[in-house]
Amino acid sequence: MKDAQKVKRGLAFKLILSVFSAIAIIFIVIFLFNYYVTRKMLIKDLDTIASNLTESIVYKVDRILFSMAKIPDNLAAVIEHTHPNEEELKQLVKLVVEVNPEIFGSAIAFEPHFEGRTEKFYSYYAYRENDSVMLTTLGTDLYNYYLMDWYQIPREKREPYWTEPYFDEGGGNIIMSTYSVPLYYTREGKREFVGIVTADISLTWLRELVDSIHVFKTGFGFLISQNGTFVTHPVEELIMNASIFSLAEQFDMPLFRELGRKMIHRERGLSTTTYENLYNHKESWVAYEPVPSNGWSLAVVFPVNELMADALYLNMMIVLLGSAGLVFIFLVILFISRSITRPLRKLTLAAESFAGGDFNVALPEIKSGDEIGRLTNSFGSMQKRLAETIGNLKDTTEQLRISNEKLEDYSKTLELKVEERTSELVAKNKELDSALQTLKAAQKQLVQSEKMASLGQVTAGIAHEIKNPLNFVNNFSELSIDLAKELNEELEKMKDQLDEKDVEYMKEIVGDLEGNARKIYDHGKRADSIIRGMLLHSRGKSGERLPTDINALLEEYVNLGYHGMRATDPAFNIKIESSYDPAVGIVDVIPQNLSRVFLNIINNACQATAQKKKEMKESYFPLLTISTKRVKKWIEIRIMDNGKGIPKDVREKVFNPFFTTKPAGSGTGLGLSISYDIVVQEHKGEINVESREGEYTEFIIRIPAGSSAA
């Protein structure tokens, strides 16, 4: 019965899947083609609309700027042809401001010592103040207008010039731009440059015009100057305070930077590369058009989701209609497949009964006359012939059955014995492997415990023996500092009784004694701190965890290790290359112990490079490389030297207590063992060494970042 259902399901499923898949693929191709064509047509229409919109706005802006520019142009022409006197110049410049509300100020500025004047500066400037027009002169040593852009650029180019927009703080308190036009006098038939005529033009109207741009619901426009500064923008904080390039850098938007480059180069077009605008954070396209008069550029932002709304709605309707059509086609295919598979299902059931031994099963009556009907008739003939043959085979089959049963019983008995023995061997192997792993772990733990116990005892003994004489060194060095101070005081009292040179000489000697005693005291205290740390280590205790600047601590002990080596070997020198990651920040560590790790590794590095320097002489240059890095939840510290390196067989033992490769009396073999304990046991970190013999050695320390703060 189940096999019949599988046949039914197989034929019907294949028929439905084949036809339905073909129709679905055709539908998807049509949908994608429709989306592609719709989007292409939409972009083409948008390009035309955007071009018309930007050109119309730019035309309005350009016409207004042109009309504004005509005022100083005409004033320059009047002055050139009439050569007015001073009073007439004052009246002309004042009249320009009075009759033109959009002009905040106007100036006439002449060349130095114009027409033989003794005064260097000759300029009149009219400007608005409240409801009045005021007149003043320009030009002082502090305000040398000959050096200003509005004078210099049109003077050198001999053509009109629009300045970059600026905010007139304390004056009009508005955004303005200055238009400058060269002024000429005709003398002996030749036009000579004599000065500049300017007009300070308010740009309030420009902002209102650009802000009036509304594209769909959330689209907007903005204007940038020749260097990319925002002249208008819906986000008021950006106006005159940011440029299109500074925003591209701040928000890491290369597409925005490329758009700005095209705009300041006076290109026009439509950018269909999607970017997120900063006004309403919607994905947008941008159309841009230059302003011919002054090289500024207008941009209109089109929101993509609103622009594509109709196309998306159309595609959604196509999907819905197509889905409904697919459901209808599925039902039709299902009906057809059932009409085909129903007689096959009946014939299959009869064949299964026949295969099960019912040779007299009744075949279904199928009178369709097609291939299925002929198959049923052929099956009936086969049924009769097989019934005769099977009857003859029954006796032989019975004998074979009995033989097979005996053989199967023997095989099953043998398999059970093999499986039972195999299970016993597997169980024994597992027990042996478990015992071996337990033994190895116990052995490793015992060896490490013995090493650390020996290390603790030796460390405690050494530290205790050193601490007593070290206390004498510290106490008497401190006493020597006090005695030196008292001796200075006595010399100060007796300086009138002694020769001045002798007093200075004795003070110098006493100062040297005091300095040496202070150095002994400082280094004695540092040695005392190390001894205390050794005692704490031997007792299984650690110092107090403190928030510590890892970079500063490492840098301090790099310098300390270097100068310590210099103190023992004045000829020693090494190049130090450092790279400290600020992201490492402050970390809770035991600074007293961690600094010992740094100093121990740096001392080893200095000694290795010094030894290699003695062997290779001038052909070798010692190098110490220090770096820190924040790697996820870890702080990674790398200390690398280009010394002699560590052989492979030695690298495996460097962290073992009492192991050293230094000559007798030069090392205890405890430094790296204690360092390993400080990093791994106290700070729950890792310490590893990488080396290539004859080339370099690098120690890599990793400690948890914990509650680090940048």
Q: Among the ranges 331-340, 377-386, 689-698, which has the highest mean pLDDT value? A: 689-698
Higher pLDDT pick, 605 / 332: 605
Over residues 394-404, the mean pLDDT reads 75
Residues 114, 121: Cα–Cα separation, whole Å: 8
Share of the chain above pLDDT 70, in %: 77
Higher pLDDT pick, 15 / 125: 125
Distance from the Cα of residue 523 to its chain's centroid: 45
Q: How confident is the model at residue 196 (pLDDT cuts 50, 70, 90)?
A: very high
Give tens-digit pLDDT for 497-519. Answer: 777 777 788 878 888 888 888 88
Rg over alpha carbons for the chain, rounded to the nearest Å, is 48
Distance from the Cα of residue 551 to its chain's centroid: 22
Sign of CA dihedral 300, 304, 309, 313: positive
Cα 45 to Cα 40, 59, 112, distances in angstroms: 9, 21, 57
Give tens-digit pLDDT for 93-144. Answer: 999 999 998 899 999 999 999 988 889 999 999 998 888 899 999 888 888 9
CB distance 305 to 217 below 8 Å? no
Q: How many CB atoms lie within 10 A of CB 344?
A: 19
Could you tell me where the DSSP H helices lie in 160-252?
Answer: 204-211, 244-250
Name the residue with tokens 């802000």: 211
Give tens-digit pLDDT for 469-480. Answer: 877 787 777 888
Cα 476 to Cα 322, 513, 554, 624, 649, distances in angstroms: 99, 13, 31, 37, 46
Residues 294, 159: Cα–Cα separation, whole Å: 12
Cα 556 to Cα 426, 549, 565, 687, distances in angstroms: 60, 11, 14, 20
What pLDDT score does 108 carry? 94
Q: Is the pLDDT of residue 538 over 70?
A: no
What pLDDT score does 154 carry? 94
Name the residue with tokens 């992201």: 583
Give tens-digit pLDDT for 645-693. Answer: 998 888 888 887 766 666 544 544 456 888 898 999 889 999 999 999 9
* Distance in Å from the first CA to the final CA of the chain: 73
Give tens-digit pLDDT for 245-287. Answer: 988 888 888 888 898 899 889 898 888 777 777 777 778 888 8
Residues 508, 510: Cα–Cα separation, whole Å: 5
Q: Which amino acid is at 203?
A: L
What pLDDT score does 653 carry? 81
54-58: which pairs have CB atoms within 8 A and are 24 or more residues apart?
Answer: 54/268, 54/287, 54/288, 54/289, 54/298, 54/300, 55/289, 57/209, 57/210, 57/213, 57/221, 57/289, 57/298, 57/300, 58/289, 58/290, 58/291, 58/292, 58/298
